[in-house]
Structure 1
Amino acid sequence: MASDETHRLMRHPEAPKRATLLELLLDVVYVAALALLSMRLSVDLSWIAAAEVLVLLMAVWWIWSITALLTDFYNPEEPKIQVIVAWAMLGSIVMTATIPQAFSALGWLFAGMYVAIHLVRGVVLVAVLRRHQAQIRAARFLCWFVLSGTLWLAGAFLPASTRIVLWGIALLTDYVGAVLRYPTPWLGRVPMAQYDKASEHLGERYQQFVILALGDIILVPLLLSGRSELDAERLGMLLLAFVTMLLLWQIYVHRAGASLQVAIGERPGRATRWAPYTHLFMVAGIVATATGFELLVARSHSRAGLGLVAVVVGGPALFLIGRTIFEYEVFGRFSWSRLIWLVVLVGTAPAFLPLTPSAVAGFTSVVLLGVALSDSARSNGWHRQDRRSIPS
C-alpha cells in the first residue's frame, strides 16, 4: 500500500489551477529556444534546413508537453516534482544552447540531454511512486523513452543526412507512442480514465506557452533592429510584426484558446490527447512567422522569392491549420470561413514571388485580419442562436 508521502505527490482535484512560479520560469527557457530556432532558419531557408529545424522544434516541444502533463498529473508544489521540473529546465537550457550545432559538432549533447531529461524523470518517478498505481503509468512512459532514446543516441554519432532520419524515427516513436497510450508488454496501455483526470491547470499551461511564443515574433526583430539604423522602412516592418502578433493572439484566444480550460473541464480526455499535436502546428507557425520578420527587418531580400514567401505565408498558414483542427477536435466545430481565408492565403502566395517582401507581409496581415473579423462575426451568430434557444 502506498504511503501518505507517495499520495502527496499526486495532484489533488481541489488543488489551485494556477501555474507555479517554477513552471513559468521553465517557459522562459523555451522562449529562448524558439528564438534560436527562428534565427537558425533565417540563416538558411533551404528545405534541408527547414527539416532540421522541425526536428529540433518537435524535440523541444515534446519535452515541454510532457513536463506540462507531469505538473498536471502530479503535485507541482512537492519538492520531488519540483526537482524533476528543475532538471527538465537545466536540460532544456543545454539543448537550447546546442541548437545552432545540433546537426554538426554538438549533436551528441543535444540528443544526450533530450534522452537524459526523459529517462531521469522516469526513473525518479518509478522510484518515488512505490506501491502506488501511478508507478505503472511512469513505467510505461519510461519504457517508451528508452526505446526512442536508443535511436536518438545512435543518430547523434552519424552524419547529418543519416542523423535526421534516425532522429525523425525517434520522434515518430515518441509521438505515436503517446497516441497509442504507451502500450507496454505486461503493463498494457495508459487507461483513458487517467486522461480524464486532467485539470484546468493544463489548459492554462498551453495558453501561457502560446502567448509567450507569440512574443518571439517581435522579440528577435526588435533585437536585430537595435544593431542597425532605425529608418522608416525598418520601423514599418516592426509595426507590421506587432500587428501580426496581435492578430494571431486574437485568432488563438477567440472561443478556443480562452475556453481551453473549460474544454478540459468538460472533455478532459479529448483535449489532453489532442492539445500537444494541434499546438505543435501553431508553435511551428509562430517560429516560421518570426523567421519571416527577422528577414524583413534585416532586409536581406530585394524581392520576396520562394524561401521568404514560404515562411511569411506558411507560418500563419500552419497556425491557422493547427487552430482549426484544435477547435474541431475539442469543440466539435469546423470553421469554413477560416478554411476559405486559408485557401486565399496559400492560393495567392505564388503571385507574390516577384514582389517586395513587405507586400507579402502586408497581404498576410490583411488575411489574418479577415480571419479575426470572420471569427468575431461567427461568434456573434452563435450567441444570437443561443439566446433564441433559451426559453422565455
Structure 2
Amino acid sequence: MTEDQRGTALLRGAVSSPRASFLELFFDLVFVFALTRVSQRIIDDVASPGRDVWSEVAQTLLLFLALWLVWTLTAWVTSRYEPERGVIQFVVVASMFGSMVMAVALPRAFAERALTFACAYLAMQIGRPLLVTVALRQHPRRTVTARIVAWMTVGALAWLAGALVPQPALRAVLWTAGLTWDYTGLALGWPVPRLGPTRVSGWAVMGEHLAERYQQIFLIALGETILIIGFTFSNSEFAAAGFGAFALSFLVTALFWRIYFHRAGHLLAEAIRVARSPGLLGESASWTHLVMVAGVLVTGVGYELVIDHPYARMEQTWAVFVLGGPALFLAARARFEYEIFGRVSRSRLAGVLVLVALAPLALRMSPMVALASAAAVLVAIAVSDAARSWGRPAERPASPL
C-alpha cells in the first residue's frame, strides 16, 4: 500500500456506517459531566452574594465556548474520517480525556487551575489535527489539518499568556482574544499564507452522522437539566411548593424536546443528505445548536433557582435565566426551522416576543409564576405545531442553504 493509499484509507468511504459509533457515545458521556460543571459554576455565581454576577457569567460563557469548540471539531473529525480506524479512535479517546481535564478544572479555571485548563484545551486543539496530518501521510487533505495546526498554534500564545498572568481580569481579556482567534479560524477556514482557507462548508462529510451528533449533544444538554432538577429537588424539602417547581421544570424540559424534534429535528439528517452543499448546512447547524444548547443550560440554572426559592422575591438576574433561557432556545429553534424548511413559524417568533415582554413584569412575579409563564408559552407553541401538522402529509426538507 502506497503512502497516498494509506492516507485515503483514513477517509470515510461509501461503506462507512452513517451512525455514530459507540466510542463517540462514550465520548459524549464526558460532556454530560462537563455541561453540569458549566451550569453549577453559573449557579454558584448567582447564589453567592457580593459577586459581580455578570462578570462571572461571562467567564463561564467563555469556558463553555471552549468546550463547545472541542466537541464540534471532534464531531467533524469523526464525520470526515473513518471512526473505526485506530488513529481516529485514539484521537477521540485522547479528546475525551482532555475534555475531562477541562471539566474538572472548569470551576477554578480563572484561579489556580488556569494553566491546567489551558494546557488541556491546547493539547486537543493542536494535537488532534497534528496527529491526523501525520496519519494522512502524503494525501492532499493533509493541508487542511496542517492549516488548523498552524492557526491554533498562533492562538495558543494568548491562551498560555492568560493562564500565566495572576490577574483574573487580564486572564479573561487574553483568553477572550484566544477564543475569538480560534472561532475566527473556524468561521474563515483557518486561512494561512500560500495555502489560503479551507471552509468546513466545503468539506465532504457523512450527513446522517453529523446530524446524529448534533441531535445527541442537544439530548445531552437536556440530560444535564434533568440532573439539575433531580439533584436540586432531592436535596430540598419535599414540600408542595418544591414539588410544583420540580414538576414545572420537568415539563419545560419535555417541551424543549418536543419543540426541537417536531419535524425539523427529525429531518436534519435527510436535509443534510439531500443538500447541494452538505457541509454548508452542517456548518450553519453547528452554530444554531450552540445557541440552542446554551438556551437549555441557561434554563437549567433557572430550574435550581425556582426549586430552591419557589415563592421568594424575584431577583432581576433570576428573570434572565427563567425567561431568557427559553427565549434563547426558541430564537435558535426558529433559525433551525429556516435551515431545514426555508421558513419560520409565527408561533416561535411570537413566543420569543412574549417571553421578552414578560421579563420586566417578572420582577413582580414569584419564580414559580415566572417559570409557569414560560411553560405556558412553550405549551402554546407545541399545540400550534401539532395543529398545523394535523391531517397533513409529512413536510419534506427544503433548505435554502
Q: Give the TM-score band, short-chain normalised.
A: over 0.9
Residue range with higher mean Cα deviation, 306-315 or 323-332 = 323-332
* Structure 2 CA distance for aligned equivalents of residues 300 and 104 of structure 1: 33
Amino acid at match of 2:316: L
Alignment of 1:333-348 (within 5 A): 333-348=343-358
Amino acid at match of 2:30: V
Matched-pair contact (CA < 8 Å) for 2:18–2:206:
no
> Could you state the TM-score of these two structures normalised by the residue count of structure 1?
0.93
Classify the secondary structure of the residue corresponding to 1:334. Answer: coil
Alignment of 1:287-306 (within 5 A): 287-299=297-309, 302-306=312-316
Matched-pair contact (CA < 8 Å) for 2:310–2:368:
no
Matched-pair contact (CA < 8 Å) for 1:215–1:245:
no
The aligned residue for residue 195 of structure 2 is: 187
Alignment of 1:290-369 (within 5 A): 290-299=300-309, 302-369=312-379
Residue range with higher mean Cα deviation, 171-180 or 96-105 = 171-180
Identity across matched positions, percent: 39
Residue range with higher mean Cα deviation, 49-58 or 142-151 = 142-151
* Structure 1 CA distance for aligned equivalents of residues 245 and 199 of structure 2: 50
The aligned residue for residue 126 of structure 2 is: 119
1:77 aligns with 2:87: no
Matched-pair contact (CA < 8 Å) for 2:229–2:304:
yes
Residue range with higher mean Cα deviation, 183-192 or 110-119 = 183-192
Deviations 1:188-231 (A, max 9, x none): 22167842434210000110110121112221221122223322
Tell me how far 1:155 sits from its aligned partner: 1.2
Matched-pair contact (CA < 8 Å) for 2:186–2:199:
no
Amino acid at match of 2:132: L
* Structure 1 CA distance for aligned equivalents of residues 94 and 372 of structure 2: 42
- Out of 210, 213, 222, the position equivalent to 1:214 is 222
1:24 aligns with 2:19: no
Matched-pair contact (CA < 8 Å) for 2:190–2:199:
no
Matched-pair contact (CA < 8 Å) for 1:281–1:319:
yes
The aligned residue for residue 390 of structure 1 is: none
Classify the secondary structure of the residue corresponding to 1:258. Answer: helix
* Structure 1 CA distance for aligned equivalents of residues 79 and 270 of structure 2: 15
Residue range with higher mean Cα deviation, 200-209 or 296-305 = 296-305
* Structure 1 CA distance for aligned equivalents of residues 289 and 171 of structure 2: 26
Tell me how far 1:371 sits from its aligned partner: 1.7
* Structure 2 CA distance for aligned equivalents of residues 233 and 241 of structure 1: 12
- Out of 222, 242, 247, the position equivalent to 2:250 is 242
The aligned residue for residue 174 of structure 2 is: 166
> Could you state the TM-score of these two structures normalised by the residue count of structure 2?
0.91
What stretches of structure 1 move > 6 A for 4+ residues in a row? none
Matched-pair contact (CA < 8 Å) for 1:309–1:352:
yes
Alignment of 1:264-303 (within 5 A): 264-267=272-275, 268-299=278-309, 302-303=312-313
Alignment of 1:58-77 (within 5 A): 58-77=65-84
Distance 1:129 1:385, change over 3 A: closer
Deviations 1:267-299 (A, max 9, x none): 212221112211111111111111111122222
Distance 1:379 1:126, change over 3 A: same
Distance 1:338 1:209, change over 3 A: same
Q: Which runs of 5+ in 2 are unaligned?
A: 47-52, 397-401
Q: Which runs of 5+ in 1 are unaligned?
A: 387-392
* Structure 2 CA distance for aligned equivalents of residues 193 and 277 of structure 1: 12
Amino acid at match of 2:314: A
The aligned residue for residue 8 of structure 1 is: 9
Tell me how far 1:381 sits from its aligned partner: 8.5
- Out of 241, 263, 281, the position equivalent to 2:271 is 263
Tell me how far 1:300 sits from its aligned partner: 8.2
Deviations 1:20-66 (A, max 9, x none): 11100111111111111111111123111211111011011110000
* Structure 1 CA distance for aligned equivalents of residues 179 and 382 of structure 2: 34
Residue range with higher mean Cα deviation, 322-331 or 242-251 = 322-331
Deviations 1:95-141 (A, max 9, x none): 00011101111111111111111111121111111110120111111
Classify the secondary structure of the residue corresponding to 1:170. Answer: helix
Residue range with higher mean Cα deviation, 188-197 or 334-343 = 188-197
Residue range with higher mean Cα deviation, 83-92 or 375-384 = 375-384
Matched-pair contact (CA < 8 Å) for 2:6–2:137:
no
Aligned length in residues: 386
Matched-pair contact (CA < 8 Å) for 2:298–2:325:
yes
Matched-pair contact (CA < 8 Å) for 1:338–1:374:
no
Classify the secondary structure of the residue corresponding to 2:378. Answer: helix
Amino acid at match of 1:216: E
* Structure 2 CA distance for aligned equivalents of residues 256 and 165 of structure 1: 38
Residue range with higher mean Cα deviation, 5-14 or 236-245 = 5-14
1:150 aligns with 2:160: no
* Structure 2 CA distance for aligned equivalents of residues 26 and 192 of structure 1: 22
